[in-house]
Amino acid sequence: MSRNKRIGVVAGIVILLCLGLLPWAVLDGHAAVRKFASKECLDCHTKFADKYFSMKYLHTIVKEKKCEDCHIRHGRVPKLLLKKEGNQICLDCHTRDKIGLSKAYVHTPLKAGNCGQCHNAHGSNSKALLMADGNAVCYSCHKKELFEKKVVHQVLLKQGCRACHDAHSSNEKFLLTKSEPALCLECHDKDGGSFKKAHGNYPVEGKVCSTCHNPHSSTQAKLLKSSVHPPVASMECSSCHAAPTAQQPFSVTQKGSELCLQCHDMKALKAGGTVEHAPFKKGDCLGCHNPHSSEFPKLLVKDGNQLCIGCHKGEDQQVAFKHAPMDSGKGCLSCHKPHAAQFKGLVDKKGSDFCNTCHAKTMDALKSKSVHDPFKGGECTACHNPHGSNYIAMTKDRSDKLCFSCHSDSEAKFMKTFTHKPVLTGDCTACHHGHGSSEPNLLTAAPPKLCSNCHGDMMKPESGGSNHAPFKRGMCLNCHDAHGSNVAGILSKPEGEVCGSCHAPFKGLKESKSQHAPFSEGSCTKCHNPHKAKLKNLLLAQGNDLCYSCHKDIKERIGKEKSHKPAQEDCLNCHKPHYAESKKLIATPVTALCEQCHELTKPPFTTAHIGIQASAMTCMNCHDPHASKDPKFFKSTIHAPFAARSCDECHIVAKP
């Protein structure tokens, strides 16, 4: 190739390369233009912007659109992802000291890390981003009706909760802005005439106002609590205390119950009772009652059962089955007297007489033919916990443990290898009544009805088949132990003995030379169903199929080899099922048995047996009675001369 041509070829290649790269350069420019552009949060969250940016108060971070100060960016699938959990995210800006987390008493939502229970994190039409205005936000947790009774504290009406309480925390109980009475005296003039007159001129300005007054609202005048001691209501403070001008004006004129008994009659308080409540006996009236006022009836210091539980520890445990009166309005006082009663436990009736006031229908069981001894003796609490328990019917323990606490000998007797399920699971009441029954042994019903409660389907008789007589008559306990046994099937005795108690004696058994193994072992149920069957004699299977369930080798040979017709038809053609006078359960002596089918005194038998009489031979010495590969049913191992039919090599054969 000439030099000029080579230059032309090279130039052409360069031009082609440049043209080929031109589209890529153009595409690269377009790619730069189409590069992903980041969006602002509000570009997508338009509904959020519409909702919050129109509100009166907006969280500064939201106003400045600094969403990512609190949130982590998400992809195309919207998902709320905060950078930190609970209050921790708020504490990044609002320090612990600033919001008061270091003070003695912290508002429950704040302590639990739930600022959002009161505040909206984005914006609100209420100050401080509160969820609602004024008291409304407080009433979302605190029951409104407790603060709107007949007489309402004016400061609550006009200034709201924050007039007395801090929203986040305080060093005073109940989040008060100051301690009592300093807080109250900010509004109430202790030197004013009306204040002194209202308090009988006693120097109460140093006392806790909420001892007598409800600080929010009340059904009583002057915000006195709902239950007021009459001397307090009538301003007769001096009936219990020293005069207001005395050196110690709040000292009492008598000690303990002596002071109370100036007005309250001891006889009326005891109401005929001789067993006294321990605090009452000690004269400790203030252990249960407030001497001035209370929000609970009878001036009690706590509500209902809560007062009793203060001393009677353990009775407040949560149980699955509660005694109904414990949850009623009267609670403990439904059964117990507060001061004194005639019987132990501060009850006015003894034993079942007391329970009978509510459980009269249960007491009808006392008229039953068979009555449980503790129930007859009125010892209800021997079995039941009167307050409640975790066991059905408020029993003290699981049924079996409870019963064994008295019937201790029965535990070892019942817990056997094979235990009746109700006994095993501790459900004695599945079969026995706890109080009384018309049946012996407190049974809930007589067998077989009792047994059919669980075994109903199995106990239906077999129509068109055979039913065991005891089973058909419902005599379950003739064979079974009701609680437990060391014999399978919870039988009362070994199987053979149970069956033998009805199916005995067996005539000729002692003289028999062979016995069927299941029969001799007492395993009758290997062949018979003890209850019912579709076949006669309660057999488990038809004919030879029953025998083959054990004699599998014979079944296999009869199927593969030439089978003896009687063996193929029915095993009982030749064998007895239980025992026999002959070996191998043969029904009759072998020769007589074979003679039933074979003519033993005529040819071809005599010819085949070289004239030897049948009585001198044993058929099974040479022949297999069931099956053989040989057409004459000879056994598999044969003496060589015999196989060759050369009997005269050993025997003297009589010539015909």
Whole-angstrom distance, CA of residue 206 vs CA of residue 185:
10
pLDDT band (50, 70, 90) for residue 507: confident
pLDDT of residue 18: 53
**Structure confidence at residue 20 (pLDDT):** 54
- pLDDT tens figures, 595-609: 999 999 999 998 888
Residue 38: the pLDDT is: 75
Distance CA 212, CA 214 (A): 7
If phi over 0 gives left and psi between -120 and 50 gives alpha, with beta otherwise, what is residue 508? left
Closest CA to 292 of 205, 234, 216, 246: 234
Tokens, residue 136: 């409304």
Query: Quick one: DSSP state of residue 165?
Result: B
pLDDT at 458: 92
Q: Looking at per-residue confidence, does 653 or 324 come out higher?
A: 324
Grouping H, G, I as helix, E, B as strand and the rest as coil, residue 589 is coil
Which pLDDT score is estimated for 314? 82
* 45 token code pair: 């969250």
Residue 165: predicted pLDDT:
97
SS3 642: helix
Q: 391 near 401, Cβ under 8 Å?
A: no
- 3-state DSSP call for residue 95? coil
pLDDT tens for each residue of 543-593: 999 999 999 999 999 999 999 999 999 999 999 999 999 999 999 999 999
The token duo for 83 is 């950078």
Q: How far apart are CA 252 and CA 192, in angstroms?
A: 26
**Contact of 147 with 135, CB cutoff 8 Å:** yes
So what's the pLDDT on residue 85?
A: 86
Q: Residue 509 carries which side chain, given as an amino acid letter?
A: L
Residue pair 527/518 in contact (Cβ under 8 Å)? The answer is yes
pLDDT in tens, 334-371: 999 999 999 999 999 988 999 999 999 999 999 999 99
Answer whether 174's CB lies under 8 Å from 108's CB. no
What is the full DSSP assignment across 169-228? EESSGGGBSS-TTTTGGGTS-TTSHHHHHHTTT--GGGS-GGGTB-SSEESSGGGB-SEE
Phi-psi region of 393 (alpha: psi -120 to 50; beta: other; left: phi over 0): left
What pLDDT sits at residue 386? 93
- Contacts for 368 with CB less than 8 Å, ≥ 6 apart: 433, 435, 436, 437, 438
For residue 236 the two structure tokens come to 């007769």
Q: Which two tokens stand for residue 42?
A: 């509000």
Q: Rg of the Cα trace of the chain?
A: 50
How do residues 108-165 score in pLDDT, each as one tens digit? 999 999 999 999 999 999 999 999 999 999 999 999 999 999 999 999 999 999 999 9
Residue 14 scores a pLDDT above 70:
no
Q: Please give the residue that has the higher pLDDT: either 39 or 562.
A: 562
User: What is the Cα–Cα distance from 486 to 200, expressed in whole angstroms?
Assistant: 86
In tens, the pLDDT along 517-549 reads 999 999 999 999 999 999 999 999 999 999 999
For residue 145, the one-letter residue type is E
3-state secondary structure labels for all residues of 251-306: CECCCHHHHHCCCCCHHHHHCCCCEECHHHHHCCHHHCECCCEECCHHHECCCHHH
8-state DSSP, 646: -
Is residue 393 a contact partner of residue 402, using CB atoms and an 8 Å limit? no
Long-range contacts of 88-97 (CB under 8 A, 24+ apart): 88/113, 90/115, 93/61
Q: Tell me if 270 sits within 8 A of 342, measured CB to CB.
A: no
Task: Flag whether pLDDT at 628 surpasses 80.
Answer: yes
Tell me the whole-structure pTM to 2 decimals.
0.70
Asked if 354 and 335 count as a contact pair (C-beta separation under 8 A), the reply is yes
- At 81 the pLDDT is 85
Q: What is the pLDDT of residue 73?
A: 87
Q: Can you tell me which residue has the tokens 């297999």?
A: 624
**478 residue type, one letter:** N
Average pLDDT, the chain: 91
The token pair that represents 460 in the structure block: 């239906």
| pLDDT tens-place string over residues 405-450 | 999 999 989 989 999 999 999 999 999 999 999 999 999 999 999 9
Q: What is the pLDDT of residue 333?
A: 93
Mean pLDDT, to the nearest integer, of 65-90? Answer: 86
Give DSSP secondary structure letters for 389-414: ESSGGGBSS-HHHHHHTT-HHHHHHH
pLDDT digits (tens, 9 = 90+) for 270-319: 999 999 999 999 999 999 999 999 999 999 999 989 999 999 988 888 89
Q: What is the largest CA-CA distance in the chain?
A: 158
**CA 160 to CA 126: how far, in whole Å?**
14
Looking at residue 328, its pLDDT comes to 85
pLDDT bracket for residue 27 (50, 70, 90): very low
Other beta carbons within 10 Å of 428: 23
Is the pLDDT score of 329 beyond 90? no
Q: How far apart are CA 636 and CA 624, in angstroms?
A: 9
Instruction: Report how far residue 585's alpha carbon sits from residue 578's, in angstroms, rounded to the nearest whole number.
Output: 8
Residues facing 170 on adjacent strands: 105
Predicted confidence (pLDDT) at residue 11 exceeds the cutoff of 80:
no
